[in-house]
Structure 1
């Protein structure tokens, strides 16, 4: 019987953004962040131990990946091999139900699912909190995809203390939803990692961003506890715009916006002016995410259909944390 692990993880969208590392190798962030896990986008990953194999293999959406992509995955899996004291090579099969590298958090669900599958394949007894410190080493935002609802990534002190980990904050089961306006799902020209590093090193606005983000985190957690949707939305939108402002201050300036991103933002402002609470956030990509109430999501979508195509509008409820699946569930 093969020794395998199979896991599903959903993406998350940061409401209080993570933008900037204080340690590039350990993925320790400059500031703590907070996200909402979504059920519309997810990754399923199967990891199979192959003790007699000479090298790892990595299949993404059924396609065998090249040396560069496979080595990145192999380096990450080394963390689990070391923890388990097991040097077995592995076969990784991953199916991404998220457009890759389009600012829709594909790396978050990908490394969260890979983390869970590795934990199961190597038979490691790791709590979800500790597992989040492993997931973080693959993609910072992956640490948050291990939980559902609203999730905080505590920036922590260092790696050895395991203090930089994810914390579930709230189930978000009070009419919270998100609508994604897919402006461009192609791969972005400038990766998040490159854009982040450039911003930290060159933007005069960056120090103020870090200080402001920490204050935003405190404020949004208070608003979540009070289930004050409008306040949560206001803080979300302001924080996202401030992050993009730091990029415009980089040398040379960075912008992930496209003309349709601007149009989407303006349309959401118009809808909000009609009395429907909805708020924009954007990550390192042109696609616009709209934080809204589930009871209003179809109404917002209907208005947006006047300016956007149906396949550009993706609605999502709140996603769950990672799930270990049965091998019989693997139908790819």
Structure 2
């Protein structure tokens, strides 16, 4: 088990130039993370567990060159090949956060070129995949200047760094099911980085996630603001305790293959997330009328046909429709027939469970 001090690098080499390229996926939480500890740096107030996605991902290439003056961070940022100035403050802040653990960052100029496989304005959170992809490239640089670091350390530190950019990004590094946050159920679980939970039943392998794009606009309340509203929330402690209990329950369900109870727990978690938003002060609602229409349609379809299909939500209006691969054709037909009309411009994205970041070099 690593502590944060284990990730402070020393005694490393230097190189003149190098290039790296990684893809990292988005993920969808099954047990939700909502709230951060006040005296921590991106430390979750409760544990979470997620499915890693496969198709919704960020592809980031980095070229580094050694520089003479080493007193500041130096980088250019391109999005889909074009300069993207409004992204630069976020990268600057990320570098500042991780610099104590990556003291070589000021030794190089970085040219960062990034793109998403999903539309940037789709309403799908790109911070998790984006920060995870950058973290993987930085760790490739670290591996180049200190080749003896282990594979386990490589991925643990990548998750640790990604977390400092965007909390949920730590769940996009490695594994098809990833837990983040210290809890008694999952061995070696940590608040500092995500850990792979690999012991899932065949019923959940190749699980599908069709993302219905209900609202592609910017949320009226950001996730950062929402997390902070948990500090004085009247139901915060009960929620944090519930999340610990639900982690224990979902681990058993993932191991035994109980899809029916899995669906109930996942839907309950999604609605609990949004109920915390509606009962904070100030209160807010991120679901849209069409979100509720879709949920009711899914419930009716499941009840009428006994098809194992459920929904989950992130901190927004879009609906993730989860189901086993063996009912894919039936569920996609249902989506076409009954749900597409509730999507903005009829748009949806077909995805499935994936395995994390991939080295593209």
* TM-score, length-scaled by structure 2: 0.82
Please give the per-residue CA displacement for 1:15-45, whole angstroms capped at 9, x wherever unaligned: 0001110047610000110000111200001
Decide whether the 8 Å contact of 1:99 with 1:186 is kept in 2.
Answer: no
Q: Secondary structure at the match of 1:41?
A: strand
Output the CA distance in 2 between the equivalents of 1:254 and 1:210.
Answer: 20
1:35–1:144 CA contact under 8 A, matched in 2: yes
Given that residues 33 and 153 in structure 1 are in contact (C-alpha distance below 8 angstroms), is that contact kept between their aligned partners in structure 2?
yes
Q: Aligned partners of 1:195 and 1:227: how far apart in 2?
A: 33
Q: Is the 8 A contact 1:102 1:286 kept in 2?
A: no
Deviates more, 1:313-322 or 1:213-222: 313-322
Residue in 1 aligned with 2:195? 167
| Counterpart position of 2:8 | none
* Distance of 2:293 and 2:322 partners within structure 1: 17
Give the conservation status (yes or no) of the 8 Å contact 1:297–1:315: no
**Superposition CA RMSD, Å:** 2.5
The residue number in structure 1 matching 2:353 is 318
Q: 1:77 to 1:171 in 2, by over 3 A?
A: farther
Q: Is the 8 A contact 1:277 1:292 kept in 2?
A: yes
Corresponding residue SS for 2:62: strand
Q: Which residue of 1 aligns with 2:87?
A: 69
Partner residue in 1 for 2:325:
294
8 Å contact kept, 1:4–1:120: no
Check conservation: 2:310, 2:321, Cα contact below 8 A.
yes
- Normalised by the length of structure 1, the TM-score is 0.88
Hey, what does 2:78 align to over in structure 1? 59
Q: Secondary structure at the match of 2:37?
A: strand
Q: 1:189 to 1:77 in 2, by over 3 A?
A: same
Q: 1:205 to 1:11 in 2, by over 3 A?
A: same
Q: Following the alignment from structure 1 to structure 2, what is the Cα–Cα distance between the partners of residues 225 and 45?
A: 34
| 1:223 equivalent in structure 2 | 253
How far did residue 8 of structure 1 move?
0.6
Aligned-pair CA distance for 1:294 = 1.2
Deviation at 1:153, TM superposition (A): 0.8
Structure 1 runs of 4+ aligned residues shifted over 6 Å read none
User: Which residue is 2:224 aligned to?
Assistant: 193
Other-structure match for 2:171: 144
Helix, strand or coil at the partner of 2:54: strand
Q: Who is 1:330 aligned against?
A: none
Structure 1 residue 107, shift from structure 2 partner: 1.0
